[in-house]
Amino acid sequence: MCARVNRQVLRGLSRFDGHIVHLTHTDLDAVCCDALFKRRYGNVFTIFSSVQDYSSYLELLAQAEKTTNLTLCLSDLGGVTSAFEVVARLKSKGWHVEWRDHHVWDERFFEDIKNVIDYLRVDRELCACEIVYTDLLDGDLIAKEIAAIGRDRDFWINNDPRSEVLSTAISDDKSREEIALRLSRGAFADAQIEAMYALQIGRKSEAISKAIQKSVLLGRTAVTTSNGYTSDVAARLRDKYHSTTEIILRGNGVFSVRTVAPVSNQIAMLFNGGGHPHAAGGNLSFTRRDQIGFRLIGYRLAKVQKLIEAASRFDHS
Ligand SMILES: [Mn+2]
């Protein structure tokens, strides 16, 4: 997270006159969570973050001058041990903290967090927005539909074409905010959403072809670089190589991993990450030097090699 984003968040927060700060993931499940918080509370200050580095946003919130009573609601973000200390600090500074999630949690960490914050609900049967829906808006028909759309995408059911359009239309925080606002008012499809969708379809196919061009197969692990469209890139890699593990790296060392065997989260946990059994993410914590090295020698970089080796070790499928 860069200094500019830090300043933006701190400035936004200092102007914010509501009570709910929502820290969530970046996908449609997260946007649906945000729509539900907006529907329930109206004025919500939202921070969308990758699952790998949301702790840095928690650090930022802990630094912020707090003028009113604020509630921090985390959603669709799994528990990582690096978050504990800063969450405890937020509590000691008087924040009310609620956390709703559906990822795989370390049992010890779950208990530790539960003892520190005001409310914690982790339910792997539901997607995050369904947890928010049942907690905050149970019985509200529009909220129910928002949660159903989130589930359709997050659990890869894909029965509802609107979930494909909406998740594709999401490209940056501005589009996330806009879509969340529309959903919160019960607008599930309109001209603006269609236009956002068409724009992203073009960008997406270009980015995916680039990622496929840059890919290699090492053993049964397919590796490539892409700054987005992780799931689509992984699916295309599996089609192309019949691989059993797919690793998609970003230039900053953040990575996603997909596996046929239910081991993705175990691999990610070795690299300060986590997630689901078949899809997870972590961070190789690239230094500036690593970033340059990665541009020069690519997948031969020591930290990348370590990840590829770890992934192959876990791959018994
Ligand atoms: Mn989710």
- Kindly give the distance from the C-alpha atom of residue 291 to the centroid of ligand 1, in angstroms, as a whole number: 29
Ligand 1 is an ion; residues with CB less than 5 A from it: 29, 76, 128, 154
- Kindly give the distance from the C-alpha atom of residue 128 to the centroid of ligand 1, in angstroms, as a whole number: 5
Q: What is the pLDDT of residue 102?
A: 97
- Kindly give the distance from the C-alpha atom of residue 42 to the centroid of ligand 1, in angstroms, as a whole number: 22
Q: What is the pLDDT of residue 2?
A: 72
* Contacts for 299 with CB less than 8 Å, ≥ 6 apart: 216, 218, 223, 249, 305, 308
- Kindly give the distance from the C-alpha atom of residue 179 to the centroid of ligand 1, in angstroms, as a whole number: 17
In angstroms, how far is the first alpha carbon of the chain from the final one?
A: 36
- Kindly give the distance from the C-alpha atom of residue 178 to the centroid of ligand 1, in angstroms, as a whole number: 19
Q: What is the pLDDT of residue 1?
A: 64
- Kindly give the distance from the C-alpha atom of residue 126 to the centroid of ligand 1, in angstroms, as a whole number: 9
Helical ranges in the chain per DSSP H: 3-15, 28-41, 54-63, 84-92, 107-116, 128-136, 141-154, 161-169, 173-184, 191-213, 230-241, 264-269, 288-297, 302-314
Taking residue 148's Cβ as centre, other Cβ atoms within 10 Å add up to 19
The Cα 124–Cα 103 span in angstroms is: 6
With a threshold of 0.85, does the pTM exceed it? no
CA 292 to chain centre: 26
- Kindly give the distance from the C-alpha atom of residue 231 to the centroid of ligand 1, in angstroms, as a whole number: 13
- Kindly give the distance from the C-alpha atom of residue 77 to the centroid of ligand 1, in angstroms, as a whole number: 8
- Kindly give the distance from the C-alpha atom of residue 147 to the centroid of ligand 1, in angstroms, as a whole number: 11
Task: Provide the Cα torsion 187, 163, 160, 100; round to 10°.
Answer: -90
Q: Which residues of the chain have pLDDT under 70?
A: 1, 67-68, 317
Q: 130, 145 in Cβ contact below 8 A? A: no
- Kindly give the distance from the C-alpha atom of residue 243 to the centroid of ligand 1, in angstroms, as a whole number: 25
Express as a percent the part of the chain with pLDDT over 70.
Answer: 98
- Kindly give the distance from the C-alpha atom of residue 127 to the centroid of ligand 1, in angstroms, as a whole number: 5
Task: Sort 192 into a burial class: Cβ within 10 Å, 0-12 / 13-18 / 19+.
Answer: middle
The Cα 157–Cα 124 span in angstroms is: 16
- Kindly give the distance from the C-alpha atom of residue 31 to the centroid of ligand 1, in angstroms, as a whole number: 10
* Contacts for 290 with CB less than 8 Å, ≥ 6 apart: 253, 284, 301, 303
Q: Which residue(s) pair with 259 in the sheet?
A: 245
- Kindly give the distance from the C-alpha atom of residue 296 to the centroid of ligand 1, in angstroms, as a whole number: 35
- Tokens at residue 178, please? 């806009």
- Kindly give the distance from the C-alpha atom of residue 289 to the centroid of ligand 1, in angstroms, as a whole number: 33
- Kindly give the distance from the C-alpha atom of residue 28 to the centroid of ligand 1, in angstroms, as a whole number: 8
- Kindly give the distance from the C-alpha atom of residue 297 to the centroid of ligand 1, in angstroms, as a whole number: 34
The Cα 153–Cα 169 span in angstroms is: 13
Q: Which residue(s) pair with 45 in the sheet?
A: 21
Q: What is the pLDDT of residue 281?
A: 96
- Kindly give the distance from the C-alpha atom of residue 157 to the centroid of ligand 1, in angstroms, as a whole number: 13
Q: What is the pLDDT of residue 156?
A: 86
User: What domains can you pick out in the chain, each with its CATH number?
Assistant: 3-189 (3.40.50), 213-314 (3.10.310.30)
